[in-house]
Amino acid sequence: MPLPADIGLRDGRHVMEVPFRALLLPANGLPGHRVGPALERFQMRLAERTGNEWRSDGNAEEVKLFIRWERTGRLVLGEDETYSLTITPARVEVQATTDLGILRGLSTLYQCLAFDGGEWYFPALVVKDQPRFPWRGLLLDVCRHWMPRDVVLRQLEGMELVKMNVLHLHLTEDQGFRVESKIFPELHRSGSNGQFFTQEDVRYIIEEADKRGIRVIPEFDLPGHATSWFVSHPELASAPGPYAIEKRFGVIDPTFDPTREEVYLFLDRFLGEMAALFPDAYMHIGGDENNGKQWAANLAIQAFMKERGLKDAHDLQAYFNGRLYEILTRHGKRMIGWDEIAEGALPQDVTIQSWRGKEGLISAARAGRDVVLSNGWYIDLCQPTAYHYANDPLPDDIGLSPIERKRVLGGEATMWSELVNARNVDTRIWPRTAAIAERLWSPAHVKDVQDLFLRLEQVTGQLENVGLRHRSAQMELLRLFAGTEEVDALKRYVDLLSPVQGYQRHSIRPGGYSTATPLTRLVDAAVPDPLAANRFEQIVDEYLRTRDRTKLDATLDSWGAAVGELLGRTEITSRMSVAEQQQLLAFSELVTRLGPGRSDPNTRPPSLDDAALLAQARPKEAEVVLAVLPAIERLLKAREP
């Protein structure tokens, strides 16, 4: 995963020998800075999975892996990432035009490694592969909840495995200013609670990303979402201070004053410093969710607008964006921002990141602008993998001309961090983002959802093997929540839960969420779209098709044992909310009703009301939902005469 553009299986297999030696064959004799480290990562991971020695040196006759490429790729939009992979019983060969293609080929090769109980091997095959879109990104919000350097670095490992090539770092927010400025050190000193990337951190992240063929794009959100700037510089705001780092979430009023020349002088110096720190051609200005309240209440700003014929806040923000465009251009950067920046006159070379709907993507492409899609890939909303997988930037019926379609560069999964922190962020990103990566890499006709889930089960383990913590973090949270090491029954139950979708959690929790709210409850351990729910859907499909209860009864029996044990553990259930306790009790009754103890599934005592029991299993006050309820409801309906 992603599924290659062209893959052909052949007879036989390449059995791994110890050590599995490789030979680098760059066309110009210069290996560059990427392939050597990539080969070391690849071989070390083979060693970790197989328990065998790894070594990259060796005589030509001992070499089994041959790696050939023509030149060092540039980390720019649209660079060649094509590769071919040939596996025969005698040898393995990865070929590419650039070293970036070699990285993609090694990721595919690693995913091909298999074990049959007797030997480790690669299946014989031929792959010819290239990406569908040149922009395949992950946004990581490190502001609302701080994400330290090690969190960012391990996301790079997962991104490399699934061939993503853009890391978008959201670095400034109402809740924190997360990057060191040497010109204005008071920004990070006052606006971060001591939690920020040093410039050395940034350089290290960029270097490690480069080794993996990943561009790093910074975002400095302007003019709104800007409270953390004003803690040290209230004079830049549209209303007088003082200001403090915001703890609440949502659309907050503080906004830059676009009428003052001092603001642009300040931003020119700061953005110039950041332009020198971040080498990518693009710099993101945010531009979203400015409510305009401070502008409307400021008489000087209103007079400025009247004098220049600016009708409303949209016009004023367009003026502000135009000034930012001049600054970024002067520092050699291309501007990219959210949908809202398109609501005014801007040069054609401004790129739009569409988050509010496909309409924004379509209008940007028709206006002659490049566009990146994020709508449909807000992974913080805890929506199902299949939903994200079906979200195509260029569906057949999009109504764009061939030229306009080329302006759709790709997309980004967006990990906003109101409801995650460094402990559990991996559980929200992975493995669903692997499905988004496939949508952006693989041909448009690759759409088989059940095939996706079969492969996703394998990729989930591979992501863990390369350093992601989506599994181990969940276990840590369960032990913390339960207050005990004995969480097996709780784990089996939580495997059937998922957080409520969208932003419902903010309204369900009394008083809402803030940066001070601990994220250590049941909902924080539950994962979006648990794979166990998908497996149960398939079991139910098979039962309804064959009426063979073997797998169904085994599953229900396992659930019944887990829930029975959990109900006897009051030291755990007492930590659940009242709604969660109600949910657990209702689920226990549903399992009993459907379980193997029911000799005739077509009869049931008339005194039991399925609808009422299902309602009890969906309490409005619970922040988790039983992801298996739709399949259970199908079973209940199938029993009716």
* 55 — pLDDT class (breaks 50, 70, 90): low
The catalytic position among 289, 343, 464, 537 is: 289
- pLDDT above 90: percentage of residues in the chain: 91
Summarised one tens digit per residue, pLDDT across range 273-313 is 999 999 999 999 999 999 999 999 999 999 999 999 999 99
CB 319 within 8 A of CB 308: yes
Note the maximum CA span of the chain: 82
CA angle at 415 for the pair 412 and 420, rounded to the nearest 5°: 170
Q: Residue for token digits 């009716």? A: 640
Residues 6+ apart with CB under 8 A from 381: 501, 502, 503
User: Helix 35-50 and helix 99-112: axis angle, to 10°?
Assistant: 10
Residues 6+ apart with CB under 8 A from 234: 240, 241, 242, 243
Measure the CA dihedral 484/508/195/434, to 10°: 80
**Backbone phi, psi, residue 30, to 5°:** -110, 115
Read off the pLDDT of each residue in 253-258 and give the average, rounded to a whole number. Answer: 98
Q: How many residues does the chain have?
A: 641
The pLDDT assigned to 638 comes to 87
Cis ω for the linkage preceding 223 (within 30 of 0): yes
* 60 — pLDDT class (breaks 50, 70, 90): low
The rounded distance, in Å, linking the Cα atoms of 295 and 312 is 10
The pLDDT assigned to 62 comes to 84
Cβ neighbours around 186 below 10 Å, total:
12
Asked if residue 601 has pLDDT above 50, the reply is: no
Asked if residue 408 has pLDDT above 60, the reply is: yes
The rounded distance, in Å, linking the Cα atoms of 275 and 202 is 12
Domain coordinates of the chain in residue numbers?
A: 6-129, 135-465, 472-638
What residues are paired with 387 via a beta bridge?
none
Summarised one tens digit per residue, pLDDT across range 372-394 is 999 999 999 999 999 999 999 99
Least confident interval from 14-23, 35-44, 102-111: 14-23
* 54 — pLDDT class (breaks 50, 70, 90): low
The pLDDT assigned to 15 comes to 95
CB 515 within 8 A of CB 175: yes
Query: What architecture is the 135-465 domain classified under in CATH?
Result: Alpha-Beta Barrel (3.20)
Long-range contacts of 197-205 (CB under 8 A, 24+ apart): 197/142, 197/149, 197/171, 199/277, 201/149, 202/277, 202/278, 203/277, 204/149, 205/149, 205/152, 205/153, 205/156, 205/167, 205/169
Asked if residue 605 has pLDDT above 90, the reply is: no
The pLDDT assigned to 61 comes to 66
The rounded distance, in Å, linking the Cα atoms of 262 and 574 is 57
Which residue in 587, 590, 382, 594 sits closest to 496, CA to CA? 587
* 56 — pLDDT class (breaks 50, 70, 90): low
Give the C-alpha distances (Å, rounded to integers) separating 480 from 483, 519, 520, 524, 537: 5, 11, 7, 11, 30
The pLDDT assigned to 345 comes to 85
Query: What architecture is the 6-129 domain classified under in CATH?
Result: 2-Layer Sandwich (3.30)
Give catalytic status of residue 262 as yes or no. Answer: no
* 641 — pLDDT class (breaks 50, 70, 90): very low
The rounded distance, in Å, linking the Cα atoms of 526 and 521 is 9
DSSP H helical ranges for 192-332: 199-211, 227-230, 261-277, 293-297, 299-308, 313-330
